Amino acid sequence: MDRIDFRSDTVSWPTPAMREAMARARVGDDVYGEDPTVNELEALAAARVGKEAGLFVASGTMGNLAAVLAHAGRGDEAILGEDSHVFCWEAGGMAALGGVMPHPLPTDAIGRMDPGQVEDAVRWDDPHVARSRLVLVENSYGAKHGYPLPPEYLASIESVARRYGLALHMDGARLFNSAVAQNIDAAALAGYVDSVTFCLSKGLCAPVGSVLCGSADFIHHARRARKILGGGMRQAGILAAAGIVALNEMIERLADDHAHARLLAEGLARLPGARVDADMVRTNMVFFSLADDVTLSSAEVTDRLRQTANVWLGTNGSRGFRAVTHYWITADDVRVLLDGLENVLAQG
């Protein structure tokens, strides 16, 4: 890469193996169901997460929305975290396009809704109220430092959803980060939910795409939803080929990204001008902030880091930052960031 870019794992470029696989990919018209590479990716993805079927979609946002549209309809209600990606960062799609009403609940320090509050949020059968239809969980939890949510939590939400006949969807944009961090099979985590979306285009480095997985019947409905959203693609095997490489070659190595994130957190803990809660660093995200006596703002610090060290960092409010590690970030790059930050803070 031409810069050291910690802003997100979405900035990761496809690997040389992916570009080769893309050039060689066999293709067909996927709306006709005839693209052999897309079909292969969908089957591989479903097997990886222990579901019957998969659906290749353009993005995580499209996968989550197609899932909501397949599970719920107009006037139905979806219970989800108030700081979840679906509620905050997907342009209100479920309401805008599905007529589905979000019912946001608070989450704790690592992104868990309280199962008792989820139960209390379920509506009774009465013409005055919306119909509760769906619960959404997110794993890893982006707004809580990418924390990997444990199976016990998923089981507690599943039991509420089952008791009330609600569908359960997991926004697993970084499901494999969560699985690798916890040393658990992704299929075990996905076993608690009816459907799951994961991104190929983040830590797994593919240029484009996500996969939505669930039962064959659910995916049949989701395929129609994808078409409504304009997501029926044609010779998409060119893209799916990179996704196959992502699933075959890029999952286990996510542990390296997590190690680099810990390395960064340890270095930040030694920097007097920085504040970090290293215990929250479990996957590939490091949230940190400026010590109170630093007079620079986070935006000023990121500007100077770009100019002095060619390091790109995301801000999180006027005092905070988010650094995300990925395939193109090495241990040396982490040291460049730490040294650059030390210099910028020393110059005030």
Ligand X SMILES: *Cc1c(COP(=O)(O)O)cnc(C)c1O
Supply the minimum distance, in Å, between the C-beta of residue 14 and ligand X. 15
Supply the minimum distance, in Å, between the C-beta of residue 327 and ligand X. 16
**68: Cβ contacts below 8 Å, ≥ 6 apart:** 78, 86, 93, 94, 98, 100, 134, 136, 169
Apex 310 CA angle, 306 and 312, nearest 5: 60
Question: Which residue has the closest beta carbon to ligand X?
Answer: 60
Token pair 């309809």: residue = 73
Supply the minimum distance, in Å, between the C-beta of residue 105 and ligand X. 17
- Nearest residue (CB) to ligand X, 84 versus 273: 84
- Nearest residue (CB) to ligand X, 109 versus 331: 109
Q: Which residues bind ligand X (CB under 6 A)?
A: 59-61, 85, 138, 142, 171, 173, 199, 201, 210
According to DSSP, the β-strands at 210-214 and 195-199 are: antiparallel
Per the CB < 8 A criterion, the answer to whether 160 and 133 are in contact is: no
Q: Phi/psi at 266 (nearest 5 deg)?
A: -65, -40
- Nearest residue (CB) to ligand X, 229 versus 296: 229
- Nearest residue (CB) to ligand X, 38 versus 149: 149
Using CA atoms, how far apart are residues 196 and 181, in angstroms rounded to an integer? 18
Supply the minimum distance, in Å, between the C-beta of residue 265 and ligand X. 20
Using CA atoms, how far apart are residues 56 and 244, in angstroms rounded to an integer? 11
- Nearest residue (CB) to ligand X, 61 versus 325: 61
Q: Which two tokens stand for residue 157?
A: 């939400």
For residue 5, give the H/E element and its range: strand 4-5
Supply the minimum distance, in Å, between the C-beta of residue 282 and ligand X. 15
- Nearest residue (CB) to ligand X, 137 versus 268: 137
Supply the minimum distance, in Å, between the C-beta of residue 171 and ligand X. 5
